[in-house]
Structure 1
């Protein structure tokens, strides 16, 4: 295991995504289980610079997130690593379809089927929070071959979610019960539950304007509210039975509690080749410190090539 190290804070580039960067409009894939998964495909800005048959990167968001939250970092990783990056919307999020089942085995199956249907081999799986447990579950289920794994600020343990998440669903339900015609009206309600403007903006990104001029949630609040206990759990409990032997980079925020020091022995038993990088941030590592995160991932993946 790599010793903990705090990355130096670097000045963030003035532009994450050059204007000539190539990105297709989002697409959807109907999986064999009936779920439609929406995704953005980010490719290097100069196709002539991309490596032939370069292994793909799959980027998965957290609870209440979406592919659009990872757009900037996906573009940067595609540019720096000259690899295609698929940013997914998991079921019940973003532009993907809704389904009453929402647990880590179901989410992992969606990712596995996506990889199979797109014939993506030697993939690097990156996931934040809920996405981190999802990609760890994919690795441990061992139903599709993957090259390496980068879980961000979550551990393979049963651990209660922050009390903020039930609070968010309560606020979202209240907004859903109100006729909202402007996003500022929803924000005024949400402000009673969350003081942080960036977090409120993150949550409000799930609002969608309807034909009648009202704003409604694009995500199924009832399904996700009922799934909060599932999101706290992890489907694997015995690392003596199953483990992932491939390279794994655990990125954690030093101000977050989701990957506490006492969890590291369990991480090591499930992922014996894991390395650890600390970023001076809270739970929202990528959005809080994008340059530190980029540097850690790019250096680690280049070292694995």
Structure 2
């Protein structure tokens, strides 16, 4: 497996309409190392305080922080190994966070990219994080793009993994995943194997089912399994997850370095989206990695290498 870096120049700027639609087929402060901290919703109805893991390579980190955002139905746990590797290789602290309605972070009925961006901006302010690199996969990728366009001073650069700054008409399996998760929860199952069997008609691929089932918890030994994520809230947010809050690159633009990583077997970032990426992010670089949508887990070494090379070149 290898990555193919390509610098995309602003010459694409005149090639696209401002509003781009595409069809996408989804595959569906110093702390102790590895320390986890959970927060609860405060007085604000919109901005939530986020849970996170902190990785510092045994106290050896000295550089600017990295903040790592997961995708839909994921959590900070998905990025634990990669966060540790980046902290080690780059000597930079890594904060892997749980976005709202995911992992150990609070739940809220509003789930869109503006709300996700506001939560993460609040996280940066709370922890006084400067010169940050924002890394996000899928839903997390659109979140870091939103943050960069809302306030270019919030970060030094971004890395967007397998998503593009477009409104996308989704043809996906995600509604089926949601229906299967609902049925699992309503059945009040006690056994993980039973949950896997019930979910199988809705998520045929075993890796996808295993990913979804990481959200199953048992509140106490005598309680049935339940999903720690608010399934109904996220089901209602699927259209918002396909959306993107910015449509005019002449009004908002991020003129700092940006790396876009896409899986060669994924349909999230098509060649047709590259011109609009170039208009919003004129200094962007593109790296293709031999993988599907789940780039970080499918090709971790190629992803690690791409990120390290990009960030070391910016030092």
Q: Structure 2 length as normaliser, TM-score?
A: 0.87
Which of residues 61, 68, 77 is equivalent to 1:50? Answer: 61
Task: Tell me the CA shift for residue 25 of structure 1.
Answer: 2.8
Structure 2 residue aligned with 1:290: 300
**Aligned 1:136-147 pairs, distance under 5 A:** 136-142=145-151, 144-147=153-156
The CA distance in 1 between the partners of 2:97 and 2:61, in whole Å, is 21
The CA distance in 1 between the partners of 2:132 and 2:170, in whole Å, is 29
Structure 2 residue aligned with 1:198: 207
The CA distance in 2 between the partners of 1:136 and 1:100, in whole Å, is 22
Structure 2 residue aligned with 1:3: 6
Moved more, 206-215 or 99-108: 206-215
Seen in structure 2, the aligned counterparts of structure 1 residues 265 and 81 have a Cα distance that, compared at 3 Å, is: same
**Aligned 1:1-305 pairs, distance under 5 A:** 3=6, 23-29=33-39, 33=44, 35-45=48-58, 47=59, 49-51=60-62, 54-142=63-151, 144-211=153-220, 212-305=222-315
Task: Tell me the CA shift for residue 50 of structure 1.
Answer: 2.6
Task: Tell me the CA shift for residue 180 of structure 1.
Answer: 0.6
Task: Tell me the CA shift for residue 194 of structure 1.
Answer: 1.5
Moved more, 189-198 or 104-113: 189-198
Q: Which has the higher contact order (CA 8 A, sep 6+)?
A: 2
Task: Tell me the CA shift for residue 29 of structure 1.
Answer: 4.2
The CA distance in 2 between the partners of 1:180 and 1:160, in whole Å, is 35
Structure 2 residue aligned with 1:9: none
Whether the 8 Å contact between 2:113 and 2:146 is mirrored in structure 1 is yes
Seen in structure 2, the aligned counterparts of structure 1 residues 247 and 178 have a Cα distance that, compared at 3 Å, is: same
RMSD over equivalenced CA pairs, Å: 1.6
Whether the 8 Å contact between 1:112 and 1:143 is mirrored in structure 2 is no
Task: Tell me the CA shift for residue 184 of structure 1.
Answer: 0.8
The CA distance in 1 between the partners of 2:121 and 2:41, in whole Å, is 10
The CA distance in 1 between the partners of 2:40 and 2:67, in whole Å, is 17
The CA distance in 2 between the partners of 1:102 and 1:219, in whole Å, is 12
Whether the 8 Å contact between 2:49 and 2:106 is mirrored in structure 1 is yes
**SS of residue paired to 2:73:** coil
4+ long deviations beyond 3 Å: 29-34
Deviation string 1:113-155 (CA, Å, 9 cap, x unpaired) is 0000100000000000000000000000017521000000000
The CA distance in 1 between the partners of 2:171 and 2:181, in whole Å, is 17
Q: Structure 1 length as normaliser, TM-score?
A: 0.90
Deviation string 1:183-236 (CA, Å, 9 cap, x unpaired) is 111100111112211111110000011223310010001100000000000000
Structure 1 residue aligned with 2:18: none
Deviation string 1:246-280 (CA, Å, 9 cap, x unpaired) is 10000000111110000000000000000000001
Whether the 8 Å contact between 1:29 and 1:114 is mirrored in structure 2 is no
